[in-house]
Amino acid sequence: MIPTETLEQALNAAMGTPDQVRLRALDRYALANDASHYVLVPRAVVMANEAAEVGRLLRVSAEHGVPLTFRSGGTSLSGQAVSGGILVDTRRGFRDVEVLDGGKRARVQPGITVRQLNARLAPYGRKFGPDPASESACTVGGVVANNSSGMACGTVDNAYQTLESVTVVLPSGTAIDTGAPDADNRLRALEPELYEGLLRLRDRVRGTPASVRTIERQFAMKNTMGYSLNAFVDHDSAADILAHLIVGSEGTLGFIAEAVFRTIPVLPHAATGLLVFDDLAAATGALPDLVATGAATIELLDAASLRVAQADPKADGSLRAIDVRSHTALLVEYRAGTSDQLAAIRADGAGVLDGLPLSVPAVLTSDPAIRARQWHVRKGLYAAISGARPQGTTALLEDVVVPVGALARTCASLTELFDRHGYGGSVIFGHAKDGNVHFMLTDRFDRPEPQERYVRFTGDMVDLVLGEGGSLKAEHGTGRIMAPYVRRQYGDELYEVMREVKRLFDPVGMLNQGIILNDDPHAHIRHIKWAPRVEPEVDRCVECGFCEPVCPSRDLTTTPRQRIVVRRALAQARAEGDAGLVAELETAYEYDGVQTCAVDGMCQTACPVAINTGDLVKRLRAEAASRTADRAWAAAARHWSGTTRAASAALTAAATAPAPVVRGPNRLARRALGAENVPLWSDDLPSGGRRRARPAPSAAPRAVYLPACVNAMFGPAGGRAGVQPAFAALCERAGITLLVPDGVDALCCGTPWTSKGHVRGAELIKRRVRDALIAASDNGRLPVICDASSCTEGLGHALGGSLRVVDAVEFVATEVLPRLPAVAEKLPVLALHPTCSSTRLGMDAALTNVAAAVAGQVFRPTTWGCCAFAGDRGMLHPELTASATRQQAAEISAADAAAHASCNRTCEIGMTRATGRQYRHVLEILAELLGLGADGIG
């Protein structure tokens, strides 16, 4: 084995900058796990950003005999994205998209998620063909590498069928664009053995009628078992065969640097319904007739799946109302381009629906909110079911397909196998329209007996599926989990063709070793994860990775999944007595896992089991907080009015002093006291704010108004009056009287204390604000309004639901705007930045409505995300905000917006810093355009 120092030198020489190569324990363990039930700790992690770097890495792998694996979204479920060698993370780069031919085609790099790609295509009324349930987190590169399909695309609109061309970096380092006019000539010149070999295999396959029949039968259904041998039947040229062999090759043949796809039209009219049957047999028995009605999707949920889905707080009421016993449901959706077409489809299928043996009457709805709730539950089902597993067990998700007519029989047999092998509580769900179902087993795999039981079950399951003429993998890829059974599914001849494919592409055999082709009969039970108990957030996590795209630190340090994975690695290292690894992980985790977490809670909005990793980080901060810091923050809570005035005065003094006078002492203080304790001043920070005004009510108040203390510390943008006067003026014009509580300057929601983990000070300030607001609101008779979204969310937590708390933007959208005149001259375009808190509060629709009142077009970047300013986090660690905003800042800078708005002062500061455009509270802009007082605000 090559020494680590030699490997590091070779990798550094291959990359553009040293920080792209990571050999720290934290980096290696953070990326050791993907969404599958396998784990391998890589020797090195490398962040690649361009195809040339990948080519050099492949040469290092071959020259030094170190296996190499690519990782992108990490949502793969069959173990194909973990490695004990070099793990190349392509998620942080390769995110470019070029929309072609008015959206009918798209040139896409592999690092962009399916949801992000669809957001780019949405203005053209088009979408990406594959529609996996993990669309929010899985990347296009992963979809192509696994030939992932999903709920509606079937075998017609998957990656294989919609691919036009691909730019692939071969294991030799050669890059081939199969869409180039001279692609075949270039392939023949640069890779003659591969070129000749592909044509030879094409003729070998076509010259063997039994092989052609097997391929046609296997690929008439969803099938990701082995390589895409249909490429030899469907395509003639070597370049086209190469392009389509790459689809579904799971990173074993080359790296997909770019691909061109045909897109499909978005069918905007849909009707969705949950059809509930008495049992699994009744549901699967109805499938042939339902498929014949032309349903776009038919998703199966067995009784265990339904019970888990009912626990989701976003589940629809009709789902919650089912008294689930042995019931099974089919989530059916019809889609069409026009309402008339949809009505015709529904009319044609009405007879079938009316004749079904349903437990409750069928109701199809086109209501977007209800449909969204139904699909939310289905798309998060795997992770939700996994999250409900017994603690300490590992979840294994299998994925099979059989002809639709055999599905009822297959599901009944699977249920019998669960009972026979002792897998109680197993679930069946999936894409019934395609005969494709998933089933999940849970067990502890830290002992021989469970492993042997799993081997016995798998053998029986393979007999069952192949006996029904099915495939052992429909859409999740062969990976490690089914590699030992590829030969059995295809037979010796086609298995040897696959082995020759691998040899032609990767003669050294270093690329993603052990995946797809593996002659070890026990490969599928090696390297299985075990899940030690750590803490509540960690124990529920199934490492699906859905949280990662919304995490603001994802391109800087770690993601929520990685924070949790490292906590598990720490627990295992402690259990094994590895003190050196424990010390190394703990030291690095302080910055990567704790300091650079924005604790914005966005991970919870994406997590199917509702884990808020910010809560974990807050607890870790509280455990690590020093007594001195706790005392200081408790003193600040007792004297909050003076503290805010002092902070405001300091900002004003800094803004008026020469920059060097401020910058030098500030940096010395950070070095002496720590970057986590002293904010970094910069000349883009505003002057201090004004004390919160408390005008006497002119009439009976309709609401209690608590202006956020953040606006008293940070002055408004451009020297204007700020959001408090703006909101007050808007309410006054609408005839609404507000009451600002007594002692307002001493009140705060408590977020600064809770986010830093200072429990004593948090309780002091929360008790004070609770007492003041209960009194001011007449024991809850009046709602409480706050004018900064993060503070609105913080107040809700501080008050514990005892009072109704409303953000000023939502109050204006529902109570004030209907009473105001329309803006006479709207802005042409307003760039809008929702905040993490506005998203978590569910008020983004209200924010957009207010923005639409001031602008003809509201522009929200497709790359939007939390800015990570997070109170003072953006001043403690400005690199966090810079990383979090990099993509959206570039998109905003390219847009032609007349103004830029948000709904939280520190977020406005963060976005102003990131974009160079001045962000203001949207209510200030509304008041200004309505001409309310000097500078628009009275």
Predicted confidence (pLDDT) at residue 387 exceeds the cutoff of 90: no
Structure tokens belonging to residue 734 = 């609408």
Question: What gap in Å lies between CA 594 and CA 614, rounded to an integer?
Answer: 9
Question: What gap in Å lies between CA 715 and CA 719, rounded to an integer?
Answer: 7
Which position has the token pair 């201090």?
A: 688
What is the overall mean pLDDT for the chain?
A: 95
Please choose, from the candidates 443, 397, 119, 126, the residue with its C-alpha nearest in 3D space to the C-alpha of residue 264: 126
Whether 492 and 406 have beta carbons less than 8 Å apart is answered as no
CA angle 206, 262, 368 (to 5 degrees): 125
Structure tokens belonging to residue 873 = 């986090």
Question: What gap in Å lies between CA 693 and CA 726, rounded to an integer?
Answer: 12
What is the reported pLDDT for 377? 83
> For the residues 256-271, what does the mean pLDDT come to?
97
| 286 phi-psi bin (left φ>0, alpha ψ -120 to 50, beta other) | alpha
Which position has the token pair 């060097």?
A: 660
Query: Cα 348 to the chain's mean position, in Å?
Result: 38
What is the reported pLDDT for 721? 86
Q: What are phi and psi of 259, to 5 degrees?
A: -145, 150
Question: What gap in Å lies between CA 418 and CA 413, rounded to an integer?
Answer: 9
> What is the chain's length?
938
> For the residues 755-783, what does the mean pLDDT come to?
96
Per-residue pLDDT band at 629 (split at 50, 70, 90): very high
Whether 600 and 866 have beta carbons less than 8 Å apart is answered as yes
Predicted confidence (pLDDT) at residue 18 exceeds the cutoff of 90: no
What is the reported pLDDT for 182? 97
Predicted confidence (pLDDT) at residue 650 exceeds the cutoff of 70: yes
Tally DSSP H helices, then E strands, for the chain.
42, 25
What is the reported pLDDT for 742? 94
What is the reported pLDDT for 313? 84
Per-residue pLDDT band at 623 (split at 50, 70, 90): very high
> For the residues 865-884, what does the mean pLDDT come to?
96
Whether 423 and 379 have beta carbons less than 8 Å apart is answered as no
Q: 805 - beta bridge partners? A: 784
3-class SS of residue 134: coil
Please choose, from the candidates 115, 114, 97, the residue with its C-alpha nearest in 3D space to the C-alpha of residue 106: 97
CA atoms 563, 565, 569, 571: torsion sign:
positive
Q: 169 - beta bridge partners? A: 175, 255
What is the reported pLDDT for 937? 34
Residues of the chain with pLDDT > 70: what percent? Answer: 99
Per-residue pLDDT band at 938 (split at 50, 70, 90): very low
Q: What confidence tens digit (pLDDT) does each residue in 289-347 have? A: 999 999 999 999 999 899 988 988 888 888 888 999 999 999 999 999 999 999 999 99
What is the reported pLDDT for 127? 98
Which position has the token pair 């008015």?
A: 102
Predicted confidence (pLDDT) at residue 356 exceeds the cutoff of 80: yes
What is the reported pLDDT for 330? 96
> For the residues 550-577, what does the mean pLDDT come to?
97
Please choose, from the candidates 70, 75, 6, 69, the residue with its C-alpha nearest in 3D space to the C-alpha of residue 36: 75
Q: What confidence tens digit (pLDDT) does each residue in 135-153 have? A: 999 999 999 999 999 999 9
3-class SS of residue 898: coil
Q: What are phi and psi of 454, to 5 degrees?
A: -65, -40
Range list of β-strands (E), 520-631: none
DSSP element (H, E) containing 810? helix 808-811
Listed in sequence order, the residues at least 6 apart from 101 whose beta carbon sits closer than 8 Å to its beta carbon are none
Q: What confidence tens digit (pLDDT) does each residue in 686-738 have? A: 999 999 999 989 899 999 999 999 999 999 988 888 999 999 999 999 999 99
Structure tokens belonging to residue 371 = 């449909």
Structure tokens belonging to residue 19 = 């920080």
Q: Hey, what amino acid is at 204?
A: R
Listed in sequence order, the residues at least 6 apart from 552 whose beta carbon sits closer than 8 Å to its beta carbon are 598, 600, 602, 865, 866, 867, 868, 880, 881, 883, 884
Whether 143 and 114 have beta carbons less than 8 Å apart is answered as yes
What is the reported pLDDT for 537? 86
Whether 278 and 286 have beta carbons less than 8 Å apart is answered as no
Half-sphere exposure of 385 (CA within 13 A, CB side): 26
Per-residue pLDDT band at 933 (split at 50, 70, 90): low
What is the reported pLDDT for 510? 97
What is the reported pLDDT for 421? 97
Q: What confidence tens digit (pLDDT) does each residue in 434-471 have? A: 999 999 998 988 889 999 999 999 999 999 999 999 99
DSSP element (H, E) containing 330? strand 328-336
Q: What is the DSSP string of 452-500?
A: HHHHHHHHHHHHHHHHTT-BS-SSS--TTTSGGGHHHHH-HHHHHHHHH
Listed in sequence order, the residues at least 6 apart from 846 whose beta carbon sits closer than 8 Å to its beta carbon are 807, 809, 810, 812, 813, 814
Question: What gap in Å lies between CA 103 and CA 269, rounded to an integer?
Answer: 19
